[in-house]
Amino acid sequence: MSKPEYARMKFYCDEDLCIDCNGCVVACKEAHEVPVGVNRRKVVTINEGIVGKEISISMACMHCSDAPCQQVCPVDCFYIRVDGIVLHDKDKCIGCGYCLFACPFGAPQFPQDGAFGTKGKMDKCTMCAGGPEETNSPAEFDKYGQNRIAEGKVPMCASMCSTKALLVGDSTEVAAIKTYRSVAHGKGISTQSYGW
């Protein structure tokens, strides 16, 4: 019997198309009611203001296949779904911040809501796939935000991207789109895929 093939869900941001509008950041915060001081997604720009050299990418958790956050978490609160989405259990999280030290992308976020301003429980992009609570329950929304994946919808950030710089989906499909765009523009693939 052949092994079932699951999708391997990935984000990809095309820096040639990202215009630093921060629409993805706002859409994410709005959809999941992310509190002030926590940004699950952020846009990073270099060479700002230099014509022709300014480039931006939208970044969040890259849902790594061998996620360092999962390897380093002392209470083992991370789990990786069969489709590759990296999620975590806030009921287990102790807010130690080890995942932040291990993450190559600065994805884990910490609200400053503990006693005397200490870190609260870690928050990060779920690729709009919720968490371990019952799917689409108020408890799940309260802790992790919307579960759009369970509804068959695209994550909010990518669905709102006005230039379609931010892609999400099965890595094979995303890679095919990236290759198609590069070939169609006649530029070739200019850079590596950040975080793949």
Partner 1 sequence: MQSSTFYTRNKAYLLTLLGLGVVGFVFIGFMMIMDWEYFLKYPLHVILTGDTSGVLVEPTSNYQAMVNAAFGPSYNSIAPEIIRASNERQEFIWWVFVAEIAIFCFMYAKYGRKVAIVTNPNDEVEVFSLFHRAVIWLNIVVIVALIITGFNITWGMRSGGGDIAFFLRGSHEMLGLVWLPLWFAMTVIAFKDAKILFNNSITKKLILKGGYTPMKRVIFIVFVVMGAGLIFSGITIWYIHPDAFTHSEFIQLKRYLLYVHFGASVLIMFFLMDFVYSVMVAVKGNLKGLITGKYPREHLEQLAPDVLRDIEEKR
The continuous run of DSSP H or E covering 170 comes out as strand 166-170
Do residues 148 and 136 lie in contact, with contact meaning Cβ atoms separated by under 8 Å?
no
Do residues 4 and 74 lie in contact, with contact meaning Cβ atoms separated by under 8 Å?
no
Tell whether residue 163 is a contact of partner 1 (CB under 8 A).
no
Distance CA 32, CA 35 (A): 9
31, amino acid identity: A
Tell whether residue 87 is a contact of partner 1 (CB under 8 A).
no
Which one, 2 or 192, has the nearer CB to partner 1? 192
Which one, 65 or 136, has the nearer CB to partner 1? 65
Distance CA 99, CA 146 (A): 23
DSSP letter for 131, please: -
Which one, 83 or 95, has the nearer CB to partner 1? 95
Distance of closest approach, residue 136 Cβ to partner 1, in angstroms:
24
Q: Which of 11, 12, 78, 98 binds partner 1 (CB under 8 A)?
A: 98
Residue 175 burial (CB < 10 Å; 0-12/13-18/19+)? middle
Which one, 23 or 173, has the nearer CB to partner 1? 23
Do residues 196 and 10 lie in contact, with contact meaning Cβ atoms separated by under 8 Å?
yes
Distance CA 61, CA 56 (A): 16
Taking contact as CB under 8 A, which single stretch among the options 99-107, 126-134, 166-174, 181-189 is the one that binds partner 1? 99-107
String marking each residue 42-81 x if it binds partner 1 according to CB under 8 A: x-xxxx-----x-x-x-x--------x--xxxxxxx----
Q: Which of 30, 65, 118, 142 binds partner 1 (CB under 8 A)?
A: 118
Q: Which of 170, 37, 169, 49 is nearest to 113 (CA)?
A: 37
String marking each residue 27-46 x if it binds partner 1 according to CB under 8 A: ----------xxx--x-xxx
Interacting residue ranges for partner 1, rule: CB under 8 A: 15, 37-39, 42, 44-47, 53, 55, 57, 59, 68, 71-77, 89, 91-98, 100-102, 104-106, 108-110, 112, 114-119, 121, 191-192, 194
